[in-house]
Homo-oligomer: A and B are copies of this chain.
Amino acid sequence: MKRLKTSDPDFAKAFARIVADRRDADDDVSRDVARILAKVKADGDDALADFTTRFDKWTPASEADWRIAPEACEAAFKALDPTLRQALETAAERITAYHREQLPARRDYRDDQGVRLGAIWRPVDAAGLYVPGGRAAYPSSLLMNAIPAKVAGVERLVIVTPTPGGQVNDLVLAAAHLAGVDEIWRVGGAQAIAALAYGTERIRPVDVVTGPGNAWVAEAKRQLYGTVGIDMVAGPSEILVIADKDNRARHIAADLLSQAEHDPDAQSILITDDNDFADRVADRVGIELAMLKTRKVAEASWKDHGVIIEVESLDEAPALANALAAEHVELAVANPEPLLESIRHAGSVFIGRHAPEAIGDYVAGPNHVLPTGRRARFASGLSVLDFMKRTSFIELDEAALAAIGPAAVALAEAEGLPAHARSIAVRLEEGETK
């Protein structure tokens, strides 16, 4: 963990290093991935079988092995502990309600020149969702990806997920049932993304692919961007907590560790204006770590990437926060509203002392798929818009064309595009024969 003070003479330099430290996996996997994509494109299901045997140490023996039946998902859901089932239902309801508010409206109007203009938002036909196997198979993540697609109106929602050694994760199946997923295929890695984008004999192609994954999955999505729509490239998780001294140190320590436990590359940063509070949080992180089952990961993250920045005044916080453009920002201060307005770059903001970031991971409602690695400068969290597209439309009658057509003719001619000009001019001329 680094301790910095904005009053230190070398602060700017040290802070710039933290901003530049993107912690993205930059394994040189792109050639491997390109080869896997080409193989799936050429050989389809045979390639999937080969890669599944090789990477997941498991060979589908029958047609039924490839796909998880809806009945299995329903059974997994019914077998859930009632508290957990209700928690999942609460999460699904709240995520659905929040995302419904995102649904964009159709526009359709006639302007003062008599031109009818507008735009129609429609869902894509099919969406594919990657669900990692093993440690990172989170039912909350499935809900956060599947529900926006369902709310958008996507008719076919397909999951691909590796089942290493043939093992299936029951919590994921239960969440898939709850979210109304249509198909679940037991394939993972770059090969699964290729199957979604190109289609195989078994798996029909989709239009948009989202969901978290390892470096191979992320690179496959990047390479297939344009063949399908994808969600933003994602890096390790981050939290920036801005806290005054009137917080309980244990609350803030727990918040910092809730990001740290995700990944040794995750980053937790505290900005505070109180030296004593900073000390107490640092101490408390040590105490909490000792009790934590996920200590190994959390300790590595805190040690290598944790930062406490002491500011003279919290007025310095927005500039620092905007430079960091963090995925999650907590405003644990007496008067958070001005900070909410002045922090321009953040994936999601948690306002006040009673909004730990983890509440947003599960049940608050907004999406927990958020831009990382300073991408909040230009990117947004996952939303229903990622599963929709917009068609603009233009309607003119003769009078409207007469009003605005000549300007278009002038521009087309100036650009050296005579057929453009002519397609308008022939309509402006009158009394012509067919």
Residue from A140, A208, A355 whose CB has the most chain B CB atoms within 10 Å:
A355
A407-B349 contact in complex given A378-B124, A418-B261, C-beta closer than 8 Å: no
Most chain B CB within 10 A, of A171, A365, A370, is at: A365
CB atoms of B396 and A390 under 8 A apart: no
What is the bound-complex CA distance between A334 and B229, given in angstroms? 35
Q: For A352, list chain B residues within 8 Å (CB).
A: 395-397
Q: Is the CB of B393 within 8 A of A340?
A: yes
- Say yes or no for A204: interface residue by CB 8 A criterion: no
- How far apart are the CA atoms of A150 and B409 in the complex, in Å? 25
Is there contact, CB below 8 Å, between A418 and B349?
Answer: no
In the complex, the answer to whether A364 meets B404 with C-beta atoms within 8 Å is: yes
In the complex, which of the residues B255, B336, B411 contacts A423, with contact meaning CB atoms closer than 8 Å?
B255
From known contacts A354-B396, A421-B358, infer whether A379 and B389 are also in contact, taking CB-CB under 8 Å. yes
User: Closest approach, in angstroms, between the C-beta of A73 and any C-beta of chain B?
Assistant: 16
Pairs of residues from A and B, 10 with the lowest C-beta to C-beta distance, nearest first: A351-B395, A229-B378, A226-B233, A366-B392, A254-B423, A87-B407, A380-B390, A87-B410, A362-B408, A358-B420
Given contacts A115-B364, A359-B401, 12 further A-B contacts (CB under 8 A): A101-B109, A125-B377, A140-B411, A171-B415, A249-B434, A254-B419, A261-B419, A351-B393, A358-B421, A359-B408, A366-B394, A381-B390
Q: List 25 A-B contacts (CB under 8 A).
A: A87-B406, A91-B407, A91-B408, A117-B365, A124-B378, A139-B414, A140-B411, A171-B415, A226-B232, A254-B422, A257-B419, A258-B417, A258-B423, A293-B418, A294-B416, A336-B395, A345-B389, A348-B393, A350-B393, A350-B394, A352-B395, A352-B397, A367-B392, A381-B390, A385-B385
Which residues of A come within 8 Å of B, CB atoms? 83-84, 86-88, 90-91, 94, 97-98, 101-102, 107, 109, 111, 115-117, 119-120, 122, 124-125, 135, 138-140, 171, 207-208, 222, 225-226, 228-229, 232-233, 248-251, 254-255, 257-258, 260-262, 280, 288, 292-294, 298, 336, 340, 343-367, 370-371, 373, 375-381, 383, 385, 389-398, 400-401, 404-408, 410-412, 414-424, 426-427, 432, 434
